[in-house]
Amino acid sequence: MKTYNFVACLMLAFSFVACEKSTDTSTEEIKTSIVSDYTVFMQNNNQLNAVVVNSTGEDISVESALISFNNIPSNSLKYRTPLDISYFYITNCQSHFQWYDASSATTKSIQLFNDLNSCVINVMATAHSIESAFIAYERELLGKDKQFVVRVNSLAQTTNNYTEIILDKKPVDIIASSDRLFVLTLDEFVTNTYYLSVIDLDTDVIIMELDLGIDALRLFTNNSGKVIVSYPELHTTIDPVSLDKEYTTYGENTEPGFITTKDFYMDGTGKFYFHKNMPSATVSEVPAIYDFEKNSTVVYLFENFLTETELNVKYNIAETTAIAYDDKNNYVLIGYKENGTTDKGGILRITPSPDFKLIDNLNLEGVPQTIFVK
């Protein structure tokens, strides 16, 4: 496969798009110099499964299936960190939680809500730590309004060992950091205002509730464990221990847009890899990298590094579905779905701007949803 040289060009203040700098001649394909393994979670036939992909200096190929992850519904709730991932799903009115540690390739599966009929609860968000699974849900109480609950279930045992914390507002998102649980809630009946409940996991007690105002739609953590509350036009960074806050606003039309991403990855330098919605682009869901330190975004439009034939025929890309970063080789991994099918996709590898190059591609019998690099 041929590769071409590219550079990044300025689109708007603090926002960049990777753009082609055409050349008359092509260069030889650049091969991987350091061996890396990728664990790829894929959607196929409305189920999730996983494969191990091996990258050598000569090739990238599927090495084996991850047999411990099978028959997980594709609509499962996902929670990931840089090192592990968990899925929560309900089948036949029974709740299941599967956890995978990518660093050690170990898995754990437990059944939750043995005391309740899972078909009468509505799970809003999930999270996990090394020790526990956290499930935020709502349920109807006979003759009363809905009850909002966070269940903390031990991962150390397969028995139904849990505690519950009652919330007074609807849970929207949930995240764990520094032995605390942060629950984004919405007062949907009175003020339509968002709040952040801070729960001490040593005591399972709400120690503080922060008023976040309107449009606080998503929670993330950065590489130092600070909690990021994402709004459409800004984000707030909260220290998980002191609860001190820092505010970052975006310039007009330069908001990074990671609030809607379905998959993301934070590298060791604090750069945030995600997929961004660009309605005016040939492919509307595209890879992007946001630098929290510089408050800047680099957006990679497919039409700027693929020819029309590559985009529409060879790779046949419909949208970005997963993203990761191979720091050993300085490769961005872009998982994508193919046009005209629900069950086929692939992975493109590129080097990030400013040394921007297309490296290679791997076709997959499934659509990548999450990629771990080992």
The confidence score (pLDDT) of residue 257 equals: 95
Q: Which tokens belong to 259?
A: 């609030």
The confidence score (pLDDT) of residue 13 equals: 34
Burial pattern 41-65, b for ≥16 Cβ within 10 A else e, equals bbbbeebbbbbbbebeeeebeeeee
The confidence score (pLDDT) of residue 157 equals: 67
Average pLDDT over residues 339-352: 92
Asked whether residue 209 carries a pLDDT value surpassing 70, the answer given is yes
The confidence score (pLDDT) of residue 291 equals: 96
- What stretch of H or E contains 308? helix 308-309
Average pLDDT over residues 239-257: 95
Report whether 112 contacts 120 (CB < 8 A).
Answer: no
The confidence score (pLDDT) of residue 283 equals: 97
Q: What percent of the chain has pLDDT over 90?
A: 74
What are the pLDDT digits (tens) for 171-193?
A: 999 999 999 999 999 999 888 99
By C-alpha distance, which of 189, 191, 194 is closest to 212? Answer: 194
Distance of alpha carbon 47 from alpha carbon 330, whole angstroms? 31
- Bridge partners of residue 87, in order along the sequence: 78, 98
By C-alpha distance, which of 281, 237, 284, 278 is closest to 256? Answer: 278
What are the pLDDT digits (tens) for 63-79?
A: 999 887 777 999 999 99
> Is residue 258 helix, strand or coil?
helix
Q: With bands split at pLDDT 50, 70 and 90, how would you rate the model's confidence at 10?
A: very low
Residue 10 CA to its chain's centroid (Å)? 27
- What stretch of H or E contains 7? strand 5-12
Average pLDDT over residues 208-217: 96
Report whether 8 contacts 298 (CB < 8 A).
Answer: yes
By C-alpha distance, which of 58, 188, 170, 191 is closest to 124? Answer: 170
Q: What percent of the chain has pLDDT over 70?
A: 89
The confidence score (pLDDT) of residue 5 equals: 31
Size of the chain, expressed as the number of residues it contains: 374
- Amino acid 72 reads I
Report whether 69 contacts 39 (CB < 8 A).
Answer: no
Q: With bands split at pLDDT 50, 70 and 90, how would you rate the model's confidence at 58?
A: low
By C-alpha distance, which of 318, 309, 372, 326 is closest to 343? Answer: 318
Q: With bands split at pLDDT 50, 70 and 90, how would you rate the model's confidence at 56?
A: confident
Asked whether residue 195 carries a pLDDT value surpassing 60, the answer given is yes
Q: With bands split at pLDDT 50, 70 and 90, how would you rate the model's confidence at 8?
A: very low
The confidence score (pLDDT) of residue 24 equals: 35
Q: Which tokens belong to 217?
A: 């739609």
Asked whether residue 331 carries a pLDDT value surpassing 90, the answer given is yes
- Amino acid 183 reads V
Average pLDDT over residues 214-238: 96
Distance of alpha carbon 291 from alpha carbon 270, whole angstroms? 7
Mean pLDDT of the chain: 88
Distance of alpha carbon 214 from alpha carbon 201, whole angstroms? 27
Asked whether residue 46 carries a pLDDT value surpassing 50, the answer given is yes
Strands (E), 102-169: 106-112, 121-128, 132-139, 147-154, 162-167
Q: With bands split at pLDDT 50, 70 and 90, how would you rate the model's confidence at 23?
A: very low
CA angle, residues 22, 19, 281, in degrees to nearest 5: 125
Weakest mean pLDDT among 28-42, 67-81, 230-244? 28-42
Report whether 94 contacts 104 (CB < 8 A).
Answer: no
Asked whether residue 16 carries a pLDDT value surpassing 60, the answer given is no
The confidence score (pLDDT) of residue 1 equals: 31
Report whether 231 contacts 250 (CB < 8 A).
Answer: no
Average pLDDT over residues 117-131: 95
